[in-house]
Structure 1
Amino acid sequence: MMTTHNGAAAHNFTLRRNSFGRLVFVDAEGVAHEGAIPVRAFPIGAPDEGIALVSAEGHELAWIDQWSDISVELRSIIEEELAAREFMPQISRIVGVSSFATPSIWEVETNRGNTSFTLKGEEDIRRLPNSALLIADSHGIQFLIRDTKALDKHGRKILDRFL
C-alpha cells in the first residue's frame, strides 16, 4: 500500500492499471475506483507539488503534497498518466511570425521540436506570474513561455508587438 498525507489524515491506497490501461485507485477499505485521474493543483507554478487523484466523477480520492510523499513506483505511474494527459510544449525561441496582425502564423522552437501554429488574436496570449505566458493556438493547444526574459532579443520584440 502507498501512503500520502493530507494534513493530519493519512490515506492508504494502491494504484494500478486495468486491462484497458485505465488507472484503478483502490482505497484503504478495498474499494476500487476505475478511471482515476491525477490532476496538478499548480501545473505551471509548482508542477511537482499538490497532486490530487480524483475519481472519474471528479471526487477527490487522495491528495499528494509532494512527490517525496509517495513511492517511486506510484510516482512513475502518476507521471506517466500526467504526461499522456498534459501536452503543453514550452517555447524556447520565437523564430518569426507571418504578420503582426492577427490571425498570424508563428514559427517557434519548443522542447518538443520546431513547429508552427496560428494565433487567432492577442486575447489568446495570457500573462502568468513570473514573466510567463500561455499562448493558445487556433486548435486549443497551449504553448508555455516559462520566462519571457529568457527569450532572445528578437523573440522579445515579437512578443512586445502582441502584448
Structure 2
Amino acid sequence: MITITEATEQDLPIIRDIAYRTWPATFGEILSPAQIDYMLDMMYSLDSLTAQIKDKNHVFLLAQETDSNEYLGFISYEFDYKDLSKTKIHKIYLLPASQGKGVGRLLIDKVATLATERANASLLLNVNKFNKAIQFYERMGFATVDSETIDIGEGFLMEDHIMEKPLNT
C-alpha cells in the first residue's frame, strides 16, 4: 500500500535525495550533465527547498510504500497560482523503479482533490518538450495549452510545454 503525506522541513533531505536519484534517468538524454547539475543545485538545495515552502507557498507531498517505508516520489504544488483559480504542479518526480506503478497517478489525483476542495478550476504544469512523461500527463487528462522558454541563468534554458487539466469543481 502507498501512503501520501505532506512533507515537513525535516523531510526536505528525502525530497532532495529523490530528485538527485531521479534526474539523471529523467533528463540524461535531454539535458547536458552540466545543466542537470546546475538545475539540481538551483532547485533542490536545502535552502532552495526551504524557500519554496516558506516564501513561495509550495506544498510537498511524499509517496511512501507502507510495507517497506521506502519513499517512492514526491509532488509539489501551489494553490491559486498567480492569483488565478488554478493549482500549479511545480514538481513531480518518482524514483525510476517506482515509475509505471500508479504512484504518479495517486499523487496527481491527491492534488486534484485538494485543488477541487480549494475551488481551483484546473491543474497546470510545465514539462520539458522532450520529456517522455508528456504521454503520461495526456493520459491523466492534461492538454498542451502553450509553450515557453525560460532563461534560468548560466546560459541554460528550460524549453517547456505548459499543460492544463480542467477539474470538476
Please confirm whether the aligned pair reaches a TM-score higher than 0.5, indicating the same fold: no
Q: TM-score, normalised by structure 1?
A: 0.26
Please state which structure has a larger fraction of its residues in helix: 2
Name the one with the larger strand percent: 1
Query: TM-score by structure 2 length?
Result: 0.25
